Structure 1
Amino acid sequence: MAMLGDLYVNATTVLVALTTLAAFALYKSSKRPANFPPGPFALPLLGNVTTFLSKTTLEAMGDLHKQYGDVFSLKVGSLNMIVLNSIEIVREALVKKAVEFAGRPMSYSVEIFSEGYKDIVFSNYGPQWRYQRKLGHTAIRHFVQKDQLEKLVFSVTPKIAAVLDEIGDKPFAPKYTIGQIVYNILAALCFGKQYEFNQPELLEWIQLNVDVQNAFGNGLIGDYFPALTFIQTPNEKRVRKLLADMLGVFHKELKAHKEKFDPENVRDFFDSLLLTQKQAIEAGEEEAEHITDTHICQTVFDIFGAGTETTIVTLHWAVGLLAENPDIQEKVAKEIDDVLGHDTLPSLDDRGSMPYTEATVLEIFRQGSVAPLGVPHSTMSDTTLAGYNIPKDTTVMINHLAIHNDPTQWSEPEKFKPERFLDDNGQLLKKLPESFLPFSTGRRVCLGEDFAKKEVFLLFTWLFGRYAFYKVPGKESESLLTINKVAALTHQPVDEMEVCVKKRY
């Protein structure tokens, strides 16, 4: 009996100890680190997930900004996260402490998406990443040059012109037409391919891209609860299948490019990367030999992915904003007419001669804020920010939407005013406002920034020089700028936004 009593006491002791440990673990899972930025109460295990159940991500972020200030914290599952909402704090993090905040969070879905962190956008900061980015930057420079980029853009516009010319007064959703323009340009850039408008192969390719982006949009359960990565949910199986189909295209293209590679004839971005790597190896750069086929495919995938959706959404905003503001559209069209006339294609050389048009594009970038939360950063070491202690591996989100609408930095930020980017003489500001960050800043500034700015300028100037976009007759009182709340992490008008278009000459 004594022995049974001892066993009972021991079992009770173990149970109490396990219960205490479990309770402590739950407590720790909801507790913020010492001197961490403020934020809403976090539930054990779940963190602040419930904060986003009744609102969109951007709405919830806006409410938290008002409640907790320019830097606040969240717990998402087991992850500690901070959100930066002012230019002063962003500059302290990404410029003054550039290396400390240059990391990327390691997550289950990103590891799958990047084939083991072999890309540029999502891979962590370090020697491998720096070298791969250097190669990517060198390779894309060829296509940012005036002649190459203009050739890319204007090889596509005649096909789109034929479609827009035939629409007449019929209402249409411009996002789908714009999408085909941009995909054609990026297909020509990356693969040296061209598609006809509404060609089934092009439409299937666009849909596959959209499906992949949507599938990864909110991450996988393993991102928030790492202990559950061994459970492959139906959604994860679907994600893996979509990604295999997508990446299969890139790996197939690389194989074909390597078979026909001619260093004297650089046809596209794949060829340019292969040439850059070849030259680096011949120059004795040992790091170049560690750039695998997967690294090359992922670098092209980065350019394609970043260059399609963001440009499409920017031009979608452009059509909506200028149709909502016909007086601004008229000023843009007049300036284009004055500089180019009716029969001349725009050139990158024209940018300095069209300040109002350039200012309008900049204002579209500001008000559109197409990547409102950017790509997450992660701290590389224990550090501080705005007087708070920020531990290593903290996820850092930059709220570009808040920064681009900060009333302390922008006069009447809710209004669409290209003039805010012009000086008193009507010329483009020589130095843009610090709080203008459409491509981020610091060590992780967008690799394709120069390409994107030039591409958007050429397409915007061609579109609004040749066409006038206006509201559907009878619906003039309805706003075109209803935000798409289904797309959780983007800031854009609804896909179904309709306008009418007419040829100007």
Structure 2
Amino acid sequence: MMSLPWVLVIVLLFWYRFRSYFRCMLERRSGRLPPGPWAWPLFGTILTIDRRHPQKTLRKWAATYGTIFSFYLGERFCVAASDMPTIRRLMKDKRFENRCHAGMIMHLDGQFDKSIIMGNGEIWREHRRFSMAALRDFGFSKAGGEEQVQNEAALLVAEFQGHQGRSFDPKISIATSVANVISYMLFSDGFDCSDPRFRQYEETVAANIAELSSGTPLEIFPWLRFIHPFSVQFNRIQRRFKYCQRPMMDLIQEHKKSFDPNSPRDYVDAFLCVQEGRRRTEDSVGTYTDEQLMRNLGDLYVAGFETTTTFLRWALIYLILHPRVQAKLQGEIDVVIGSSRAPTMTDKAPMVYTEAVILEVFRLSDFLPFLIPHCATEDVQIDGYVIPEGTEIWPLVTYHYCNAKVWGDPQVFRPERFLDDKDQLLQSLADEIQPYSTGRRACLGEPLAKMEVFILLTTILQHFTISSQTTPDTEHLPAFILAPPSFEIIATPRT
């Protein structure tokens, strides 16, 4: 039998190892920290989270514990905000500006501070500012950006027509169009649907996203990467990650061969101009290295490509399921745009029903259930609770989008909810939809994404009525970005 001194030693060691956990649990009970579900030492709340659909568990907790609640991912203390006013307030607060550097993804590369999505500090600020200016110059505010989206929309129409009324999966066609818009803006090049390079890259990115969001224990316990069989999984993910970097670096070297600093063509050229200028004036490129450019390109490409592609696939599903909505949207297209010209962004303002449909697809598809977590840089008091320094902040939009107090009938696809009795957009309700985040970390590519969504969707419906031989499934596939299961459509030309 174990002696009393040894029992005391074990108890003291256990307390010392998990002292922050016990302190947080006591402070939660006292009301100093936000309430939340019971958490176990070491494991936290992961044993009670639905691994395939964690957003469902988080929605239940929000309904039980309120607007602000806390939970543990292993030993990581997290606080979730589940209504839009609170999310906006936190995202605009400089004390919550930083990204969290936690989980397996931080061990894939070791230099995530240089990422314009996941980075913090001066490198992040400098390259976010540069990227905003470069993207504005080479797409957002130029007619050329709109023209490029229109060109891709025309190619997408031709691709749909090529199926001649037969059933087909639109995923690759849509993905290629979206990817090409981003590609031309970043490096003046694009892909063909059948290009094996594009398919390989897209499949590699998708495979990594799926595996990273599969509920792997590596995400909670990154040290498992040193232990078999988790080491095999980690190495596989890391190989894919590095594979996705290689094409970007090859592209940069190829771009340099035709680079003219007096005539920048795209984002890469804009970066090389700064690089060349600093080399001449300061004898050092500073942070404007080829490696940094590679990271910027990867961040911008993957972030813009995956979200817009997923949205358009969900939009087609809901229009198939609701033919009355599709017909009404086509009616608005016929009145405002007609059939003889391509949609433009000047058409967007009067097309309030189209905007309502887009907002409702974002809301009900819920394919971005939570925005990328932030991190508290100091102790902060919010609504009577203390948020300790280092806490992960999770903007939980998934609960907000299905909150009956906000939407009345949240499970119903009803675009009219965003319109008043005069068929004008209810801007206050439209502002409740924030797919591109808000505040200091709002998505860099929001203007481009909105342009792509509007022009590609209206162009498809200008030319086709979309239907399906089977009823599409609306159950999410498990991932960070919740894509629908594969589905096929029939694109019937409009007469």
TM-score, with structure 1 as normaliser = 0.87
Determine the C-alpha separation between the residues in 2 that align with 1:378 and 1:145.
32
Structure-2 change in CA distance of 1:223 and 1:210 (3 Å) = closer
Residue 475 of structure 2: which of 453, 460, 483 is its match? 483
Deviations 1:101-137 (A, max 9, x none): 111111253334565021111112x333222110110
* Corresponding residue of 1:56: 53
Determine the C-alpha separation between the residues in 2 that align with 1:176 and 1:290.
36
Structure-2 change in CA distance of 1:235 and 1:55 (3 Å) = closer
Cα deviation, residue 279, structure 1: 6.5
Deviations 1:227-285 (A, max 9, x none): 5565571011111111111011111212222343213333332223333566788899x
Cα deviation, residue 328, structure 1: 1.3
Cα deviation, residue 193, structure 1: 2.0
* Corresponding residue of 1:243: 241
Q: 1:85-104 to 2 correspondence within 5 Å?
A: 85-95=82-92, 98-104=93-99
Cα deviation, residue 154, structure 1: 2.9
Q: Do residues 347 (structure 1) and 344 (structure 2) align?
A: yes
* Corresponding residue of 1:415: 412
* Corresponding residue of 2:317: 320
* Corresponding residue of 1:20: 11
Cα deviation, residue 146, structure 1: 4.3
Contact 1:108–1:229 under 8 Å retained in 2: no
Determine the C-alpha separation between the residues in 1 that align with 2:395 and 2:125.
22
Contact 1:39–1:64 under 8 Å retained in 2: yes
Structure 1 moving runs of 4+ over 6 Å:
11-14, 279-284
Cα deviation, residue 70, structure 1: 1.9
Instruction: Output the aligned Cα RMSD.
Output: 2.8
2:492 alignment partner, SS class: strand
Determine the C-alpha separation between the residues in 2 that align with 1:455 and 1:444.
21
Determine the C-alpha separation between the residues in 1 that align with 2:286 and 2:379.
33
Q: Do residues 374 (structure 1) and 344 (structure 2) align?
A: no
Structure-2 change in CA distance of 1:180 and 1:401 (3 Å) = same
Determine the C-alpha separation between the residues in 2 that align with 1:281 and 1:361.
46
* Corresponding residue of 2:212: 216
Contact 2:135–2:185 under 8 Å retained in 1: no
Q: Do residues 331 (structure 1) and 322 (structure 2) align?
A: no
Equivalent AA in structure 2 for residue 141 of structure 1: R
Stretch of structure 1 that moved more, 17-26 or 243-252:
17-26
* Corresponding residue of 1:499: 489
* Corresponding residue of 1:82: 79
Stretch of structure 1 that moved more, 398-407 or 224-233:
224-233
* Corresponding residue of 2:67: 70
* Corresponding residue of 2:41: 44
Cα deviation, residue 159, structure 1: 3.5
Contact 1:159–1:197 under 8 Å retained in 2: no
Residue 398 of structure 1: which of 366, 386, 395 is its match? 395
* Corresponding residue of 2:164: 168
* Corresponding residue of 2:101: 106
Determine the C-alpha separation between the residues in 2 that align with 1:44 and 1:108.
17
Contact 1:317–1:364 under 8 Å retained in 2: yes
2:98 alignment partner, SS class: coil
Equivalent AA in structure 1 for residue 221 of structure 2: F
Contact 1:110–1:122 under 8 Å retained in 2: no
Contact 1:369–1:438 under 8 Å retained in 2: no
Determine the C-alpha separation between the residues in 2 that align with 1:281 and 1:337.
54
Contact 1:157–1:181 under 8 Å retained in 2: yes
Structure-2 change in CA distance of 1:53 and 1:345 (3 Å) = closer
Contact 1:115–1:294 under 8 Å retained in 2: no
Equivalent AA in structure 2 for residue 216 of structure 1: L
Contact 2:178–2:452 under 8 Å retained in 1: no
1:74 alignment partner, SS class: strand
Determine the C-alpha separation between the residues in 2 that align with 1:471 and 1:230.
47
Contact 1:183–1:308 under 8 Å retained in 2: yes
Determine the C-alpha separation between the residues in 1 that align with 2:78 and 2:420.
39
Structure 1 residues without counterparts, runs of 5 or longer: 1-10
Determine the C-alpha separation between the residues in 1 that align with 2:276 and 2:427.
39
1:352 alignment partner, SS class: coil
Contact 2:153–2:460 under 8 Å retained in 1: no
Deviations 1:409-432 (A, max 9, x none): 224222222233334432334555
Deviations 1:83-103 (A, max 9, x none): 1111232233223xx111111
Structure-2 change in CA distance of 1:65 and 1:315 (3 Å) = same
Determine the C-alpha separation between the residues in 1 that align with 2:201 and 2:132.
26
Residue 128 of structure 2: which of 133, 145, 153 is its match? 133
Structure 2 residues without counterparts, runs of 5 or longer: none
Determine the C-alpha separation between the residues in 2 that align with 1:278 and 1:85.
46
Contact 1:41–1:48 under 8 Å retained in 2: yes
Determine the C-alpha separation between the residues in 1 that align with 2:95 and 2:232.
37
* Corresponding residue of 1:195: 191
* Corresponding residue of 1:435: 432
Q: Do residues 299 (structure 1) and 289 (structure 2) align?
A: no
Deviations 1:280-309 (A, max 9, x none): 88899x997333322222111111011111
Contact 1:47–1:75 under 8 Å retained in 2: yes
* Corresponding residue of 1:273: 271
Structure-2 change in CA distance of 1:272 and 1:404 (3 Å) = farther
Contact 2:330–2:462 under 8 Å retained in 1: yes
Determine the C-alpha separation between the residues in 1 that align with 2:354 and 2:311.
15
Report the identity percentage: 28
1:72 alignment partner, SS class: strand
Deviations 1:332-377 (A, max 9, x none): 1111122222121111122123222222222222223322111111
Q: Do residues 177 (structure 1) and 168 (structure 2) align?
A: no
Structure-2 change in CA distance of 1:431 and 1:65 (3 Å) = closer
2:271 alignment partner, SS class: helix
TM-score, with structure 2 as normaliser = 0.89
Structure-2 change in CA distance of 1:279 and 1:402 (3 Å) = farther
2:203 alignment partner, SS class: helix
